[in-house]
Structure 1
């Protein structure tokens, strides 16, 4: 995730004033997540398969 053009705002960040800005960047083997209001704090990085399982579990809970 070395270039800024890999990052995009998550569809779950909400609209309006942008107070809930979560950005994600993906590569074939990993996904990174960061707070767009605190870029210097870095990002969390997950294996793509683990992130996919996490998202699927959220979909299941949402119901």
Structure 2
């Protein structure tokens, strides 16, 4: 897994994981899937750190 700074990341098609939601909209993980890579970020800090896992 690697960290991708916001300034180095292209626009990605983010979606919120329904599994991670507690029902109140807090504590969610957002995921973006691209060919060969899965990206994840904290929905409360979309401009913060991200991780990516190469498939």
The count of corresponding residues between Structure 1 and Structure 2 is 47
Structure 1 runs of 4+ with >2 Å offset:
none
Normalized against structure 2, the TM-score is what?
0.69
RMSD: 1.7
Structure with greater contact order relative to length (CA < 8 Å, sep ≥ 6): 2
Normalized against structure 1, the TM-score is what?
0.61
SS of 1:45's partner is strand
* Residue 30 of structure 1, CA deviation: 0.3
Structure ranking higher in strand proportion: 2
Q: 5+ residue gaps in structure 2?
A: 1-8
Q: 5+ residue gaps in structure 1?
A: 49-63
Rg bigger for which structure? 1
Alignment of 1:3 with 2:11, yes or no, is yes
